[in-house]
């Protein structure tokens, strides 16, 4: 029911008004369009560089191969409802075909997704603190900020417990898995040990942790800058705090697996949030929908071509393990 309501009242009106958005884009300067596209490309490149950093072990595919794998993952995510799970399976298949050990592919994906989302939550908190003196922050933003800070605190506590009391956490995970009957105890133990191993890897190599955090921040910031560029092109300049709050909130809502890539959810949160920050209706709608063309729709054909390139080229046959 929720999915049908979103499609009826959020997604379809966007598709019906797509001609207006395309005409508005055609009227923009080529320099602005090229700059926004470059920012989005930098965002995707930063994510693939993050993939290379979080992959454990010595066997890593070349960077350009990782970039094509991540683009394939993104295309599937934007096509299938709740596509995160299906795209993760496609990504796992391509990584193992490229010679990455299955356990390394799983642990890297787990750490990358969880870590990137925690960085996004931290950016929302930074935006909230930055905007305290710029905009009227209502109780909903304050509540969201408290939830985010609690999430970050719990994550730090979990990592600390994993580092110091691994055996106890493994026993608790196996006991919990046996109680809920959904996950096998061995799978629960593997999950906990994988997270602990990744945490230990970053603890032993602080430089690697710094690179991973820098790339995760760059991934989100370049994409947010692309959104800022489009909104500014249509007549409204967002303050840094406003941008981080609106952008982070929209992408956090997109984590709810209702529509492909948060289609409809992201726009349904971003547009009224920007209007609430003082952006004119036209600038908010055209800016957000233009950004979504570059952020959501364009990676679908590009990712499809990347997948074909991989399967017909370097990953035509599975690599020997």
Looking at residue 296, its pLDDT comes to 92
**Considering the chain, what is the average pLDDT of its residues?**
84
The pLDDT tens digits of the residues spanning 162-213 come to 777 888 888 888 888 888 777 788 888 887 887 777 777 777 888 888 999 9
How far is residue 30's CA from residue 128's CA, in Å, rounded to a whole number?
33
How far is residue 41's CA from residue 34's CA, in Å, rounded to a whole number?
10
Residue 15 binned pLDDT confidence (cut-offs 50, 70, 90): low
Domain residue ranges of the chain, discontinuous segments joined by +: 30-312
Task: Dihedral sign for Cα 268, 270, 276, 282, please.
Answer: negative
Higher pLDDT, 73 or 193: 73
Looking at residue 314, its pLDDT comes to 78
The pLDDT tens digits of the residues spanning 31-57 come to 999 999 999 999 999 999 999 998 887
Mean pLDDT of 313-317: 75
**pLDDT reading at 230 higher than 70:** yes
Q: What angle do CA 312, 261, 87 make, to 5 degrees?
A: 35
8 A C-beta contact, residue 125 and residue 152: yes
How far is residue 82's CA from residue 263's CA, in Å, rounded to a whole number?
11
Higher pLDDT, 242 or 1: 242
Residues 6+ apart with CB under 8 A from 23: none
Mean pLDDT of 68-72: 95
Residue 133 binned pLDDT confidence (cut-offs 50, 70, 90): low
Higher pLDDT, 134 or 131: 131
Instruction: Find the Cα–Cα–Cα–Cα dihedral 110, 165, 169, 200, rounded to 10°.
Output: 20
**pLDDT reading at 134 higher than 70:** no
**pLDDT reading at 104 higher than 80:** yes
Mean pLDDT of 74-78: 92
- 3-state SS of the chain? CHHHHHHHHHHHHHHHCHHHHHHHHHCCCHHHHHHHHHHHHHHHHHHHHHHHHHCCCCCCCCHHHHHHHHHHHHHHHCCCCCHHHHHHHHHHHHHHHCCCCHHHHHHHHHHHHHHHHHHHHHHHHHHHHHHHHCCCCCHHHHHHHHHHHHHHHHHHHHHHHHHHCHHHHHHHHHHHHHHHCCCCHHHHHHHHHHHHHHHHHHHHCHHHHHHHHHHHHHHHHHHHHHHHHHHHHCCCCCCHHHHHHHHHHHHHHCCCCCCHHHCCHHHHHHHHHHHHCCCCHHHHHHHHHHHHHHHHHCHHHHHHHHHHHHHHCCCCCCCCC
Looking at residue 292, its pLDDT comes to 92
**pLDDT reading at 8 higher than 70:** no
The pLDDT tens digits of the residues spanning 256-311 come to 777 788 888 888 889 888 988 889 988 888 899 899 999 999 999 999 999 999 98
Give the rounded percent of residues in the chain with a pLDDT score beyond 90.
32
Give the rounded percent of residues in the chain with a pLDDT score beyond 70.
87
Residue 321 binned pLDDT confidence (cut-offs 50, 70, 90): very low
């Amino acid at each position: 029911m929720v999915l049908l309501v979103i499609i009826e009242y959020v997604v379809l009106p966007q598709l019906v008004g797509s001609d207006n958005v395309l005409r508005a884009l055609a009227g923009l300067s080529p320099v602005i369009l090229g700059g926004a596209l470059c920012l989005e490309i930098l965002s995707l490149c930063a994510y693939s560089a993050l993939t290379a950093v979080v992959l454990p072990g010595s066997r890593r595919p070349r960077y350009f191969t990782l970039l094509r794998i991540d683009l394939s993952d993104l295309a599937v995510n934007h096509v299938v409802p709740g596509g995160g799970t299906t795209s993760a399976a496609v990504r796992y298949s391509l990584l193992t075909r490229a010679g990455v050990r299955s356990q390394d592919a799983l642990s890297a994906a787990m750490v990358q997704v969880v870590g990137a989302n925690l960085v996004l939550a931290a950016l929302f908190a930074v935006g909230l603190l930055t905007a305290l003196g710029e905009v009227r922050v209502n109780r909903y933003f304050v509540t969201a900020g408290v939830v985010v800070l609690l999430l970050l605190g719990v994550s730090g506590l979990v990592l600390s417990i994993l580092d110091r009391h691994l055996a106890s956490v493994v026993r608790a995970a196996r006991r919990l898995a046996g109680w809920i009957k959904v996950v096998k105890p061995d799978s629960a133990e593997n999950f906990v040990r994988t997270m602990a191993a990744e945490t230990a890897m970053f603890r032993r190599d602080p430089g690697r942790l710094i690179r991973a955090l820098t790339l995760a921040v760059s991934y989100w910031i370049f994409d947010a800058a692309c959104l800022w560029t489009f909104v500014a092109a249509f007549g409204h300049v967002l303050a840094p705090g406003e941008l981080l709050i609106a952008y982070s909130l929209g992408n956090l809502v997109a984590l709810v697996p209702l529509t492909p890539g948060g289609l409809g959810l992201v726009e349904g949160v971003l547009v009224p949030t920007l209007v609430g920050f003082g952006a004119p209706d036209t600038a908010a709608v055209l800016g957000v929908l233009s950004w979504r063309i570059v952020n959501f729709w364009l990676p679908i054909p590009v990712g499809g071509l990347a997948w074909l390139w991989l399967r017909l080229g370097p990953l035509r046959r599975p690599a020997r393990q």
